[in-house]
Amino acid sequence: MQIEILGAESLGVRGLCCVVRLKGRKVVIDPGVALGFRRYGLLPHPVQVAASERTRKLITRTLEDANDIVISHYHGDHIPLVDANPYQLSVKQVVKLCQHPRFWTKGTKDISYNQAHRAKALANSLGRILPVAEGTSDGLLTFSPPIPHGEPGGRNSNVMMTRIEEDGEVFVHTSDIQMLNDTAIRQILAWQPN
């Protein structure tokens, strides 16, 4: 198993997009980039813009031969967006690359109107149904039930965590849980990542 971080919460990128290469399988998790067009009334710094562009190109190249795409939730830094600003990953940039991979996605129950709208817009743009993966497994990939995005009961809805196991190695992608709730921590410990 090889794990590569394509974009992480840092200058120019929000989110945590990564690719996990397995024997004969390539899994891309949270293929999104979001950099606020105006944050606190300020435009992004040129260093942020360059980092964002570099990450978008990496994600696009990585999607070219992906077998699986995982969407942990529908915030703009985790998915390609239909209404992307110049600093985000647009669905238009990747629509052709997303026709063949299998999707594993967070359900739209108990999420904000904006997230549900993004999920529907993404599915419509791709011309396919985004199947709910929460609580399912296909052997190598296992997905958590809905886990709070930060503190339980917060306004940010839920996310879906991903566990990938191959040859005794276990990788867990926890996407924005912020280690603020016992349910998520118990699940991570039960999955025994190494």
Residue 188 binned pLDDT confidence (cut-offs 50, 70, 90)? very high
Specify the pLDDT at position 49.
Answer: 86
- The pLDDT of residue 177 is above 90: no
- The pLDDT of residue 156 is above 80: no
pLDDT (tens digit per residue) in 74-93 = 988 899 999 998 888 999 99
Query: What's the mean pLDDT in 126-132?
Result: 94
Specify the pLDDT at position 93.
Answer: 93
Query: What's the mean pLDDT in 120-142?
Result: 95
- The pLDDT of residue 50 is above 80: yes
Distances (CA, A) of 98 to 125, 164, 186: 10, 21, 33
Q: Is the pTM of this model over 0.75?
A: yes
Count Cβ neighbours within 10 Å for each residue of 129-150 and write b for 16 or more, e otherwise: ebebbbeeeeebbbbbebbbbb
Specify the pLDDT at position 119.
Answer: 95
Query: What's the mean pLDDT in 83-106?
Result: 92
- Report for 145-154, 158-167, 177-186: range of highest mean pLDDT: 158-167
Query: What's the mean pLDDT in 49-67?
Result: 93
Specify the pLDDT at position 160.
Answer: 95
Q: Where are the domains of the chain?
A: 2-191
Query: What's the mean pLDDT in 150-169?
Result: 86
Those residues with Cβ within 8 angstroms of residue 182's Cβ, 6 or more apart along the chain or in another chain: none
- The pLDDT of residue 25 is above 80: yes
175/37: higher pLDDT: 175
- The pLDDT of residue 153 is above 80: no
CATH of 2-191, one of 2.60.120, 3.90.1690, 1.25.40, 3.60.15: 3.60.15
- The pLDDT of residue 192 is above 70: yes
